[in-house]
Structure 1
Amino acid sequence: MKTKVALITGGYTGEAEVSYKSSQFVYSQLDKNKYEVYLIDITVEGWFYQDDENVKHVIDKEDFSLNFNGTSVRFDVAFIILHGSPGEDGRLQGYFDMIGLPYTSCSALTSSLTMNKGYTKAILSDISELHLAKSVLLFESHRKDGVKLVEEKLTLPYFVKPNAGGSSIGMTKVKEAAGLREALDKAFDAENTGKQVLVEEFVNGREFSQGIFRNPQGELVVLPATEVKTTREFFDFEAKYSPGLTEEITPADLNEEQQTRAVRLIKEIYIRLNCKGMVRVDFFLEHDTDKFYFIEINTIPGQTAQSFIPQQVRASGMSETAFYSELIEAALKGW
Structure 2
Amino acid sequence: MKKNIAIIMGGYSSEYEISLKSGQVVYDSLDASKYNAFKIHIFKEKWVYVDGANAEFPIDKNDFSVTINHAKITFDCVFNAIHGSPGEDGFMQAYFKLLNMPHTSCDMYQAALTFNKRDCLSVLKPYGIKTAESFYLNFGDAIDENAIIAKVGLPCFVKANKAGSSFGVTKVHKKEDLKNAISVAFKEDDEIIIESFLDGTEVSVGVFNYNGETKVLPITEIVSENDFFDYEAKYLGKSQEITPARITKEEETKVNAIAKKVYEVLKMTGFSRSEYIFKNGEPHLLEVNTVPGLTKASIFPQQAKAAGISLEALFGNAIETSLKNHTLNVSKRGKL
| TM exceeding 0.5 | yes
2:148 corresponds in structure 1 to: 150
Deviation at 1:231, TM superposition (A): 1.2
Letter in 2 for 1:301: P
Q: Is the 8 A contact 1:216 1:327 kept in 2?
A: no
2:194 corresponds in structure 1 to: 199
2:222 is the alignment partner of 1:228 = yes
Letter in 2 for 1:211: G
Deviation at 1:176, TM superposition (A): 0.8
Figure out how many residues of one structure are paired with residues of the other and give that number.
326
1:320 corresponds in structure 2 to: 311
Deviation at 1:216, TM superposition (A): 4.0
1:114 corresponds in structure 2 to: 114
Distance 1:250 1:70 in 2: 49
Q: Is the 8 A contact 1:138 1:146 kept in 2?
A: no
Deviation at 1:188, TM superposition (A): 1.0
Q: Is the 8 A contact 1:224 1:312 kept in 2?
A: yes
Distance 1:233 1:69 in 2: 53
Which shows bigger deviation, 82-91 or 257-266?
257-266
Distance 1:100 1:208 in 2: 36
- What's the TM-score once normalised by structure 2's chain length? 0.94
Distance 1:320 1:134 in 2: 37
Letter in 1 for 2:133: K
Deviation at 1:27, TM superposition (A): 1.0
Deviation at 1:19, TM superposition (A): 0.4
Letter in 1 for 2:136: L
Distance 1:254 1:221 in 2: 19
Q: Secondary structure at the match of 1:159?
A: strand
Change (3 A) 1:151 1:224: same
1:262 corresponds in structure 2 to: 255
Which shows bigger deviation, 152-161 or 170-179?
152-161
What is the 5 A alignment of 1:82-101? 82-101=82-101
Deviation at 1:66, TM superposition (A): 0.8
Distance 1:313 1:296 in 2: 20
- What's the TM-score once normalised by structure 1's chain length? 0.95
What is the 5 A alignment of 1:177-192? 177-190=175-188
Distance 2:146 2:66 in 1: 53
1:247 corresponds in structure 2 to: 240
RMSD: 1.2
Deviation at 1:320, TM superposition (A): 1.0
Give runs of ≥4 in structure 1 deviating > 3 Å. none
Distance 2:145 2:77 in 1: 46
2:320 is the alignment partner of 1:303 = no
Q: How high is the sequence identity, in percent, across the aligned residues?
A: 39
Q: Is the 8 A contact 1:216 1:333 kept in 2?
A: no
Letter in 2 for 1:208: V
Uncovered stretches (5+) of structure 2, i.e. residues with no partner: 327-336
Distance 1:221 1:135 in 2: 30
Change (3 A) 1:136 1:71: same
Which shows bigger deviation, 270-279 or 90-99?
270-279
Deviation at 1:118, TM superposition (A): 0.6
Change (3 A) 1:284 1:291: same
2:206 is the alignment partner of 1:211 = yes
Distance 1:201 1:329 in 2: 41
What is the 5 A alignment of 1:9-158? 9-128=9-128, 130-142=129-141, 144-158=142-156
Deviation at 1:333, TM superposition (A): 1.0
Letter in 1 for 2:162: A
